[in-house]
Amino acid sequence: MSTIKALRKNVTLSTIRRGIWDENPVFRQVLGICSALAVTNLLANTLVMSAGLFFTAAMSSFTVSLLRRYTPRDVRIMAQVLIIASYVICVDLAIKAYYPEISATLGPYVGLIITNCIIMGRCEAFAYHNPPIPALLDGAAAGVGYSVVLTFIAFWRELLGFGTLFGHQVLGDGFTHWTIMVMPPGAFFMLGITVWLFRGLLPPERRD
Amino acid sequence: MNKSPLYSILFIALLAVFFGGAVSGVEQYTRERVEQGRVAAERSRVLEALGMEAPDSPAELADLWSGRISEKADASGLYYSAKDGAGALMGYAFPFTAPGFWGPVRGVVGVNPQGTTLLGLSIISHQETPGLGGRISEKWFTEQFRGKRIDTSTNAPLSFVYRTVNAPNEVEAVTGATQTSSRFAGFMNPFLAELPKRGVFEGGGAK
């Protein structure tokens, strides 16, 4: 009995570890790059976007998994898009209602979570073949993996670009703002550096 | 899983009904708040155009709005009349819809009671490219309009330039967004030139 429990715990941990580190959606699979570039100039925006993606990834995987026995193979992608889109629209409406300012700055990117390959990828690769609870965990872990990388990028972009963190001044007036960091080129630099750095932390045999 | 085509159609239809219903439910539930947020954002922009500080709290904003601003209309459309803290007329705000590169640019201009000087300009909504034309809604651009004289002796009261400004009627346009800038300038100049002719100014204006 206890071995089964231990095994389950082990599987759970490895699912989480896989989503956050081993198969991190951003720096391992290089998915969701468009939004990783677009919403990382301010930490506040990044956190709202990450929360949106976390919720959508977890709930979509869960729902796809719940319906997996009833979903015919030939219409499964249609069903997945429908499920993902519904959750994303709900998230978008909630942000519009409760954080109108952030909604305005995020613009179309929340809606574009619908086409984010991370969510679709987890639904198709994992949720469609696994029971609901592991699927929920798997989606959530992918969401956390995405959030961690984006927050890391946003931290440096906001700090160096505006001298602030979450809008609070941290660097003194003497600090010259690296304006390029909050512009699109800064996003490319930071993403490149981040992928390089995180991959460098992996043992050599696991690098591609 | 081999199912008949009819099953697939039925499955998708049921799924669509269920999730469509759920989304409609959430939309119903949040509609009022979204609408309130939209109105509050628009009111903040009107206050900014008049050179007034827009409070963050919705209750304070509503108080300030009902105490100081009244909505009016003339032959050319809706406008707002604003009082200062002491109850004296401090200016008018006129909403506008200018053409942009990708879609309409909605905004407001604030004008002093004589119709001679701009109190400010703010952008309510636009569909321009973020980071390029979208910069027309940024403070560095909109703040330039504060205190500009509306000279009606010319049909171009403002001059939009792609360099550092060096004359009082010059405004620095958004570089890298020539389409947005030239359309905006092309609309704004005749619009401003016509403003002092509106009923509220009783034929006044800078002569």
**A103-112, B69-78, B144-153: lowest mean pLDDT where?**
A103-112
Domain membership flag for residue A163: yes
Please give the torsion angle defined by the CA atoms of residues B82, B87, B88 and B94, in that order, rounded to the nearest 10 degrees: 0
Question: Which has the higher per-residue pLDDT, A28 or A131?
Answer: A131
CB burial class (10 A; 0-12, 13-18, 19+) of residue A44?
Answer: middle
User: Can you give the pLDDT at residue A101?
Assistant: 81
Residues A14 and A10: their CA atoms lie apart, in Å, by: 6
Q: pLDDT digits over A18-66, tens only?
A: 888 888 888 888 888 888 888 888 898 899 999 999 999 999 999 999 9
User: Can you give the pLDDT at residue A207?
Assistant: 60
> Between A and B, how many CB-CB pairs are < 8 A?
61
User: Could you give phi then psi for residue A134, rounded to 5 degrees?
Assistant: -60, -35
B22 and A90 within 8 Å at the Cβ level: the answer is yes
Domain membership flag for residue A87: yes
Q: Where are the alpha helices (DSSP H) in chain B?
A: 5-49, 58-68, 139-142, 178-194
Domain membership flag for residue A62: yes
Tell whether A56 lies on the interface with B, counting CB pairs under 8 A: no
Per-residue confidence band for B42, with pLDDT thresholds at 50, 70 and 90: very high
A107 and B130 within 8 Å at the Cβ level: the answer is yes
Per-residue confidence band for B205, with pLDDT thresholds at 50, 70 and 90: very low
The H-or-E segment that residue B119 falls in is: strand B118-125
Domain membership flag for residue A138: yes
Domain membership flag for residue A10: no
Tell whether B175 lies on the interface with A, counting CB pairs under 8 A: no
Q: Quick check: B1 pLDDT over 60?
A: no
ipTM score for this prediction: 0.80
Q: Quick check: B45 pLDDT over 90?
A: yes
Domain membership flag for residue A2: no
Q: What is the mean pLDDT of chain B?
A: 89
Tell whether A66 lies on the interface with B, counting CB pairs under 8 A: no
A96 and B3 within 8 Å at the Cβ level: the answer is no
Q: pLDDT digits over A145-174, tens only?
A: 999 999 999 999 999 988 889 888 888 888
Domain membership flag for residue A85: yes
User: Can you give the pLDDT at residue A208?
Assistant: 56
Model pTM?
Answer: 0.77
Residues A141 and A126: their CA atoms lie apart, in Å, by: 12
Domain that residue A115 falls in: 29-198
**A123-132, B145-154, B197-206: lowest mean pLDDT where?**
B197-206
> Judged by CB atoms within 8 Å, which residues 70-109 of A form the interface with B?
70-75, 78-79, 82-83, 85-86, 89-90, 93-94, 96-98, 100-101, 104, 107
A72 and B22 within 8 Å at the Cβ level: the answer is no
Q: Which residues in chain B touch residue A52, judged by CB atoms under 8 angstroms apart? A: none
Q: Quick check: B178 pLDDT over 50?
A: yes
User: Can you give the pLDDT at residue A1?
Assistant: 56
Q: What is the mean pLDDT of chain A?
A: 88
**A16-20, A70-74, B15-19, B105-109: lowest mean pLDDT where?**
A16-20
Domain membership flag for residue A193: yes
Question: For residue B92, what are the β-bridge partners?
Answer: B81, B111
A67 and B130 within 8 Å at the Cβ level: the answer is no
User: Can you give the pLDDT at residue B206?
Assistant: 40
Highest-scoring range by mean pLDDT, A1-15, B8-22, B142-156, B167-181: B8-22
How far away is chain A from the Cα of B188, in angstroms, using its nearest Cα? 24
Q: pLDDT digits over A186-201, tens only?
A: 999 999 999 999 888 8
Q: Which residues in chain A touch residue B37, judged by CB atoms under 8 angstroms apart? A: 96-97, 100
B30 and A78 within 8 Å at the Cβ level: the answer is no
Q: Quick check: B80 pLDDT over 90?
A: yes
Domains contained in chain A, number: 1
Which pairing describes strands B104-111 and B77-83: parallel, antiparallel, or unpaired?
unpaired
B19 and A70 within 8 Å at the Cβ level: the answer is no
Closest Cβ–Cβ partner in A73, A85, A94 for B1? A73
Q: Quick check: A92 pLDDT over 50?
A: yes
Residues B34 and A103: their CA atoms lie apart, in Å, by: 11
**A105-109, A131-135, B150-154, B164-168: lowest mean pLDDT where?**
A105-109
